[in-house]
Amino acid sequence: TILAQQHFQTFSNRFAEFPAQVEVLSRFRTRKEIDAALANVAAGRTDVVIGTHRLLTKDVVFKDLGLLVVDEEQRFGVKHKERIKQLRANLDVLTLTATPIPRTLDMAMLGIKDLSLVNVPPANRLPIETEIVAFNKTTIRNAIMRELDRDGQVYFVHNRVQSIDTMRAMLEDLLPEVRFCVGHGQMPDGQLEKVMLDFMHRRYDVLISTMIIESGLDIPNVNTMIVSRADTFGLAQLYQLRGRIGRSHRQAYAYLLTPPAFDMTPVAKKRLYTIGEFTDLGSGFKIAMRDLEIRGAGNILGKEQSGHIATVGYELYNKLLEEAILELKHQEQAVAPERFETRVDLPFNALLPESYIEDPGERMNQYRRLLNARDSEELHVLRSEMRDRFGSMPQDAVMLFHLVEIQKLGQAAQIARVEFTNRRLVLHPFTKDGDEAAAGRRLVSQLQHLGPEWPVELESTPSLRIALSQKNTEMSVRIDQTRALLKELTMALEKVSAAV
């Protein structure tokens, strides 16, 4: 409601010199004003109508609706979005949000919806400094006084209406010289509007509120936020709340107050770690991606907008979904290549040791990301990220990266098995449906494109394969040579395919 009122004021100012009529529908309007606005919309006399969910009720009739802009998309449920589809066939819809709902982001990543990112912040904006600290009065007092000393204002978020007055009493005892006000959604409309306007006009120093300030409230003079029991908020909620400050050239500070670590759930700790990690301007997309991993993507055709996909991981989930879409489109043979896994036999351990990544869930998450990397470049990025997060890699982890990279290269070269034996590298070609003759012809064609620097031998006993003598027994040298050979075989395969 507050955001709708702010949008109405902004649009009215922007269109003041144009022949455009702007209306607003919200609970701050009287019944008579709402009826008049509805009549103007139905008759086509209104050019732009701004409103809350009230716009989606059945008594709102549009004469010629051309564009629907949904701001703060995370505040809308599936039923609201289904109602949007019913407004008009082929309606253009622009959705704006700093933190997309997991299902919306997933649909964009799959190409079902178009996605645009605004990564450049407004001029002179600074990243918000975020602190995650245990609840204590000293931190609260220092944070508030530091902001007031520079002539600013403060948001104090307490998301329980039942105890918000108790919190106000505690803060007034702690800081008797500070002017506090309270705002929440259960207040009468006129009273809430007066509190918000008084705070905007700087008649109060600190606004103690619930999540009502989450959606788009824009007061540039407020540059400190304190969130009580931050562990009970969702990741998108925390990011949206933090976005209410730092809306000018001043440095802004966010204090997320929590109970002791042992009183928080593992998921709450992940959320807080993420919000503390991503503080750069324009990091909403990264936070939404992490939220997608934590909560899951929900159902594309169902009502759930989030749901756990942790059992398979986001990347594998997308692969399975893509295969299902191709199958439904009857394009599997034309588009999807034959899938197989290259087996790599290494004479060393290849794993992520518990001593390197202690948390089992995080270790499984890194395994999934590793196995679902598409190429050497993605593996390199993942390896750098792991080193930054967990420190220098032990030999077992290094060998795991080598193994996975050889798997990817082997798949591209149509090699089913890579075998490191004593001083020899043996490659077994992929055989489709047991057709060794076709595999043999393909392999011979590949070998014909290799240069003389690759003295490989073609063997047919006990099965078709090629072998390369590796005189240097140092494993790093053998792995480098294997990578190079597989890349050559891939290029040879591309030449063979192009010639057909």
More confident residue, 410 or 72: 410
Same fold, 129-281 and 337-499: no
Cβ count within 10 A of residue 424: 13
Higher pLDDT, 2 or 38: 38
More confident residue, 487 or 311: 487
In this predicted structure, what is the pLDDT of residue 161?
94
CATH entry 3.40.1670.10 includes domain 337-499:
no
List of residues 6+ apart from 451 with CB closer than 8 A: 488
pLDDT score, position 120: 72
Instruction: Output the CA angle 480-481-484, nearest 5 degrees.
Output: 90
Q: What does the alpha-carbon distance between residue 291 and residue 430 come to, in Å, rounded to a whole number?
A: 39
Fold classification of 2-96 is: Rossmann fold (3.40.50)
Mean pLDDT across the stretch 186-194? Answer: 85
pLDDT tens digits for 332-391?
Answer: 444 444 567 888 988 888 888 889 998 766 887 788 788 778 888 999 999 999 999 999
The pLDDT of residue 281: 63
Query: Which one of 73-77, 173-177, 396-400, 446-450 scores highest in mean pLDDT?
Result: 173-177
Q: Name the packing angle between helices 137-149 and 164-174 (round to 10°).
A: 70
Closest Cα to residue 239, out of 206, 205, 281, 267? 281
Tell me the per-residue pLDDT of 264-318, one tens digit each, with 9 for 90 and over.
Answer: 888 888 888 888 877 776 666 666 666 665 555 444 444 444 454 455 555 556 6
12-26, 156-170, 252-266, 364-378: range with highest mean pLDDT: 156-170
Q: What is the pTM of this model?
A: 0.53
pLDDT at 496: 78
Query: Is pLDDT at 435 greater than 70 in this prediction?
Result: yes
Residue 214 or 66, more confident: 66
Mean residue pLDDT of the chain comes to 82
Of the segments 94-108, 212-226, 289-303, 406-420, which one has the largest average pLDDT value?
A: 406-420
Percent of the chain with pLDDT over 90: 34
At 131 the pLDDT is 93
pLDDT of 327 strictly over 70 = no
Helix axes 436-448, 475-499, angle to 10 degrees: 100
> What pLDDT shows up at residue 500?
60
Mean pLDDT of 416-445: 84
Output the pLDDT for position 55. 84
Asked whether 228 and 234 are in contact (CB, 8 A), the reply is no
Cis amide bond preceding 462, omega within 30: yes
Q: What is the CATH number of domain 129-281?
A: 3.40.50.300
Per-residue pLDDT at 346: 82
Q: How confident is the model at residue 406 (pLDDT cuts 50, 70, 90)?
A: very high
Could you tell me where the DSSP H helices lie in 45-134? 78-87, 102-109
The whole-number average pLDDT for the span 446-468 is: 83
Q: Where are the domains of the chain?
A: 2-96, 129-281, 337-499
What is the C-alpha to C-alpha distance for residues 28 and 24, in angstroms, rounded to an integer?
10
The strand pairing partners of 256, in sequence order, are 132, 227
- pLDDT value, residue 22: 93
Residue 251 scores a pLDDT above 60: yes
Helix H or strand E encompassing 397: helix 395-412
Confidence (pLDDT) at 332: 45
